[in-house]
Structure 1
Amino acid sequence: MSSVNSTNTNPLSFILIGIPGLEPVQRWISIPFCSMYILALLGNCTILYVIKAEQSLHKPMFLFLSMLSITDLILSTSALPKMLSIFWFNLRDISFNACLVQMFFIHSFTAMESGFFLAMAFDRYVAICNPLRHSTILTNPTIAKIGIVVVSRGVIFFSPHAFLVKSLPYCQTNVISHTYCEFMALMKIACAETYTSKAYSLTVASLIGAFDLLSTAASYFFILRTVLSLPSKAASRKAFSTCSSHICVILVFYTTAVFTFLTHRFGHNVPPEVHITVANIYLLVPPTLNPIIYGVRTKKIRQRVVKVFYHKSV
């Protein structure tokens, strides 16, 4: 274990050990992680290209989807390259400032992803429950404002994390038991009282997560009520099909998010390898599944992908 001199309040660098307890098999673990990262890059870039290339997809649902894809690309790229360098080349050092930047991007863009899920749920709510006003409610300026609010919320509420980390002394060790710079993992190695810092982080995460999840659930409650009241079974099936892809992605995202949050708050007996593996899945699986689910389940995207790549190959 590496340690730092007690006179240094901030180390020059931290050491990320990866997944504690699973060091001998980390090279094997890197295979599915790397595969998911490649799929996330290819899938989200394809979604962005198709939406940009096809004028007919310049609609609220797909504009929010493009914002989600950008968020997924940045979120997964913030963690995966460094994680793979640990697994493959044992390059565990990360500079103090680089650690702060990585932490900020991971936490803030996770909040942004949650916000864009809510924005997409609101779009489906308006489209199904109030279709005649959809085009007047979700205009391009309104969509841009929603995007700015989601991004600003993530930046404003998670910028203090970097200042909180920088203000604490790290006089005993600079070893982080994680695959990336995560706020709570840094709090564990600080040699000072961290109750206030941890309370702030957990409060912000819980309030944002609870607001987004409850608002999304409320949107789908009203959507379900409207769909069940439709006289035509064909119309009901079409409405369910439109929303099913979104619901699948939300379930994956919030299931892992809630587990990670509860582990920080109550799961002191959860093995660290389980907690850190789920935390990695939390960052990797949604960016990987989002373009696959939306590409397969959304007819317009599926048709445009086939059209674009078919014409390129001819």
Structure 2
Amino acid sequence: MEQRERSDHGPAADWLVELAQRHRLSPTQRQIVQRMLGMFPDVAFRSTVEIAELTGVSQPTVARLAAALGFAGFPEFRAALRDVVLAGPPAGPADPDRHGSGAIAIDQERANLASLRRVIDGDRMGAAVRLLAATAPLGVVGLRASAALAQYFSYFARRVLPSVHTLTDAAGIDDAVLQLQQEGASALLVFAMPRYPAATVAAIRQARGLGLATIVVADTALLPFADDVDVLLVVPVGTGLVFDSHAAVVVLAINLLDAIANIDPERTQRRLEAHEALVGRWAYEE
């Protein structure tokens, strides 16, 4: 990404970043926004063809960005961009700590973490803990962008729970969910970050059809498949950079696991001590 000039056009660039954060953009669209940050003030006076050439994408992709940002078309978006370049954004308190999209993204994560407290202290969290603590085995689903979240949760869950299955392969998800049910599972934990894979939704619906409770961690309460979810834990993701940041989701996952572990503290202690006995075999000590 080109480095943005530190000049009096900084507030206008911040306006573009904040506008992008208010909308759900694809990684390609976010990349265009980031490259545009290094093109101020000229970017406000360029055509879609010129911006496409400078950002390395097609002209229709630039036009679709304008629509994704809530404008009727690129001309309307460019007119708004010109207004903020020439006149500045609406009056507001200056924030000297906001030096570009990275700093703004950190500010957004702080807000996301602050909102997480309501989720952790809420009734849905308690319901999720009870359901997940009672199931054996425990299945943890995470496909595509959510695969790393499922693996992270499962890695630590195996320290305190007797049987944890990580489901990250869309091709075998149907068989895996059926196997869980046949082995006696009563609940399924699903990480569903945008964009939502069709196989994730199918797994949730299959689980409910088999009688499993579905606990879903997602970024919004307005899921198109919310009716198929028994317990929904809403955790916002960071959208200030090219790819989503799951910082708040990771914090939620560890809090969820901590609460599950506290349901049966004696079992947790036994399993943690057994794990500690193995640490010497793999931990590096100089």
Return the TM-score normalized by structure 2. Answer: 0.26
Higher helix share: 1
Higher strand share: 2
Q: Higher relative CO (CA 8 A, sep ≥ 6), structure 1 or 2?
A: 1
Return the TM-score normalized by structure 1. Answer: 0.25
